[in-house]
Amino acid sequence: MRIDIISVLPELMESPFQASILKRAMQKGLAEVHFHQLRDWSTGKHRQIDDEPYGGGAGMVMMIEPIDKCISELKTQRNYDEIIYLTPDGETLTQKIANMLSIKNNLIFLCGHYKGIDQRVRDLHITKEISIGDYVLTGGELAACVLADAVIRLLPGVLNDEQSALTDSFQDNLLSPPIYTRPSEYKGLKVPDILLSGNSKKIEDWQHEEALRITIERRPDILD
C-alpha cells in the first residue's frame, strides 16, 4: 500500500512511522508513506496556501490552486482508490472503515488547517471525508497518523500471529476481555483461577462472557 499525505506540517507526522510496528511495515516494504509539503505547490509570493473567505467571517481558507496542483500531479503518476480529506465534519472513523481501506492500493490523505479548504477541492477531488471523533484538533495531521496506523496494521504480514488483528477490540463488535500476566498474585491481587486452570474451552467461554459484560457495560451501541 502507498499513502501520500499532503500537509503544511509534514514534519508533525514523521515519528509515528519511525517506531515499532509501523516502522517494520515500512522496512518490510508492506507500506510506503510519502509526505508532500503543500507550500511547494503554491504559486504565491510567500508560498501562501490560504486566503480570506468570500462572504467574510473569521479564519482563513485553504486555496484550491496548490491543492489541485499537488493532487493532479499525483494522479498522473498512479490511480488512487480514495482521496481522503481529514476533517472534523467527515464520517467518524470506525474499524469497518479501516478494514475497507486496508484492501486498497493507493490512498491520498489531505490534511486540513485553518477554517478548512475551498469547497471546490472537495467537489473536484475528494472521494471520502473522515473525522477521528467529535472534538476539534488544530489540523488534520494527527488524524492522518491515526488513520494511517489503523489501516497499515491491518495489511497482511504487518502483524505476527500473536499480535493478530482478528482478536482486537471492535473487530468482532466486542471489546476485549481483561488480560493478565505473571505474577499470578501481586499484593494480594489474584489472577482469576479459570485462567490458570489449563482448560482452554472454559477459558474461551470466560473470555467471551467477560467481553460481552464489558461491552454491555461500556459500549452497548457497538453490539450487533
Q: Which of 132, 145, 150, 174 binds ligand 6GU (CB under 6 A)?
A: 132
DSSP state of 103: T
Pairwise CA distance, residues 109 & 126, whole Å: 9
Pairwise CA distance, residues 183 & 190, whole Å: 9
Pairwise CA distance, residues 1 & 204, whole Å: 35
Residues 72-91 interacting with ligand 6GU (rule: CB under 6 A): 86-88
Task: Establish if 136 lies at the interface with ligand 6GU (CB under 6 A).
Answer: yes
Cell output for 143:
488524524
Tell whether omega for the bond before 183 is within 30 degrees of 0, i.e. cis.
Answer: yes
Measured from the CB atom, the residue of 143 and 175 that comes closer to ligand 6GU is 143
- For the CB of residue 177, give the shortest distance to ligand 6GU in the complex, in Å: 29
Task: Establish if 137 lies at the interface with ligand 6GU (CB under 6 A).
Answer: yes
- For the CB of residue 140, give the shortest distance to ligand 6GU in the complex, in Å: 4
User: Which residues are within 8 A (CB) of 21 and not within 5 positions of it... i.e. 6 or more apart?
Assistant: 152, 153, 158, 159, 163
Span of 1-9, 94-102, 126-134, 181-189 interacting with ligand 6GU by CB under 6 A: 126-134
Measured from the CB atom, the residue of 54 and 135 that comes closer to ligand 6GU is 135
CA dist 188 → 50, 81, 134, 161, 184 (Å)? 60, 54, 40, 33, 10
Task: Establish if 131 lies at the interface with ligand 6GU (CB under 6 A).
Answer: yes
Task: Establish if 59 lies at the interface with ligand 6GU (CB under 6 A).
Answer: no
Q: Which of 16, 66, 140, 177 binds ligand 6GU (CB under 6 A)?
A: 140
Task: Establish if 71 lies at the interface with ligand 6GU (CB under 6 A).
Answer: no
Residue 134, annotated as binding a ligand: yes
User: Which residues are within 8 A (CB) of 14 and not within 5 positions of it... i.e. 6 or more apart?
Assistant: 35
Contacting residues toward ligand 6GU, per CB under 6 A = 86-88, 131-133, 135-137, 139-140, 143
